[in-house]
Amino acid sequence: MPLYTISTKRPLLDSDQQALVSAITEAHCSITGAPAQFVQVVFSRGVHLRSRNIVHILGSIRSGRSDKIKSELASAFVNSASQILCCPRSRCSVDLIDVPASWVIEGGAVMPEPGQEQEWLARQLG
């Protein structure tokens, strides 16, 4: 967690896929302060998106992020997708769903609340 599902109609070039993975991972970590170890991205192909969208990003993120942070995340994802896939921003859409950290097990333990990642990682690695 977070888990981002990137949907497109056509398969993407491997280089575009990797660029999107890097952009989303980088944006998530720099905006939320979460470590990259937590960021998962999967691609779904063959999806006829609504409103003639080129790409849709569905993110399950830990609850507790402010509206400002969520808005920054959505905006960063749209900007990156638009640049990497050379399409208008209006054809890129993002939905974010909040999931309480205590409802998820990752790395063998219940996930930490946002902001408590370093102590959690130290315990896991220690």
Partner 1 sequence: MRFKPIVLCSFIEGTLTNHEKQKLEFTINLAYQDHMNPRVAPRVVWMEVPVNQAFMEGKQSSAATFMAPLPDGTTNTLRHSFLYRLLDQWCSVTGRDTYEVVITAPDHSLSKEFLSTNRKRMSPLRQIAFIGKTLIRLVKSKSASGQFKTHINL
Residues that bind partner 1 (CB under 8 A): 1, 3, 5, 7, 14, 17, 21-22, 25, 36-37, 39-51, 53, 56, 58, 60, 93, 95, 97, 99, 102-108, 110
**Residue 38 C-beta: closest distance to partner 1, Å:** 8
**Closer CB to partner 1, residue 5 or residue 79?**
5
**Residue 50 C-beta: closest distance to partner 1, Å:** 4
* Contact indicator for 45, 10 with CB cutoff of 8 Å: yes
**Closer CB to partner 1, residue 36 or residue 86?**
36
Distance CA 46, CA 49 (A): 9
Distance CA 22, CA 27 (A): 8
Q: Is 92 helix (H, G, I), strand (E, B) or coil?
A: strand
